[in-house]
Amino acid sequence: MKYMIYFIIFMFCIGGMSTLTEVVHVNLRYFVPRLQRRACSLPHLGAVEVAQLIAVPCAAAVVLSWLVLRNTEHGWLFQDIIGAGFLCFLQRTLRLPSLKLATGLLSLMFCFDIFWVFLSPLFFAKSVMVVVATGGGTGEMVPMLMRIPAIGDPFGRDRMLGFGDIALPGLLISFLLRFDMLSGKPLRRGYFLLAVVGYALALCVTIVALHVMKMGQPALLYLVPGTLGTTLVAGWRRGELRALWDGEPLADGLLALGGSTCTHCHSGHPLQHRAAKAGRCDGCRKEVFEGQNVMECQLCNWYLCEICRRPNQESSGTEIKDMNQDLNEGLVAAACMV
């Protein structure tokens, strides 16, 4: 088990290569359209674009730079670039359907984090979470965390924040953004901005606690109350907690029956008319059958049934059937790089 760290490093390199290649590829084909042309065709892979041929060596350069410099003072930058790629694609792939599931997940991980940082020394002599994060005496460090050097502090160590401390609250924040958009809430009256501010303040409290206690901190101890706690309190005060809990957009929002036309997905990409694959509508959560007409964003794997996306009289003749696919990919590229 001592050398499991090297297998983790290997998988980190493979995953980082894949995600960074896709990020660079999407950006290149949007900002330099001529790179979309076909370069060659490979067995089992199909057509390969020029943008992909450029993206692969760029991603490989970042991954190899991290592999060589990972134990030096310069390795943190490449590790954070790879980590950002992982986290962006995780947010695109996973979605929480309701606050109920978010509450269960975050509460469970809240207790898990506290146990392995504060309580595990009572059973294992040392904090298991801290030992694992620092490589267990091999001289290596688990790469699944964001690193920031202690600038100006000659005796300080790198500040570390695990991917889970970003990804788990991030899933809740993504759900709140989707809820606000589907409910027609402006930014200042929605839950997304509130959760982002709560996350930032909780992260500041985590750093203060780190300095005061002089020991590793379970970040979720502060981040969960800062995001989930503020959301629950705000939802209760506004009388909207039931809608949040069930993940149902508010009745007076964009998806109300007979209401305004919804023309964009939760990430802001234009929707297109398509024949659906079997699944569930991301608005009303009702079953959608194979071949049923929907308004879909293929980039986010997100669609609305015709009931949820009911056009009004003024917009019925101006459906967005011919949206440029390159525009979609450009928007998701910008989102991935934020």
Catalytic residue among 80, 158, 165, 282: 165
Q: Which of 173, 139, 141 is nearest to 160 (CA)?
A: 141
User: Quick count: other Cβ atoms within 10 Å of Cβ 163?
Assistant: 17
Helix (H, G, I), strand (E, B) or coil at 301: coil
Alpha helices in 115-224 (DSSP H): 121-124, 128-133, 163-182, 192-213, 220-224
Q: Which of 113, 158, 282, 326 is catalytic?
A: 113
Would residue 326 show up in a list of annotated catalytic residues for this protein?
A: no
- Selection from 160, 165, 97 nearest residue 130 by Cα: 160
* Upper half-sphere CA count for residue 122 (Cβ side, 13 Å): 6
User: How are beta strands 272-275 and 279-280 bridged, if at all?
Assistant: unpaired
Told to judge if 113 belongs to the known catalytic residues of this protein, a careful annotator would answer yes
Half-sphere exposure of 63 (CA within 13 A, CB side): 21
Length of the chain (residues): 338
Q: So which residues are the catalytic ones?
A: 113, 165
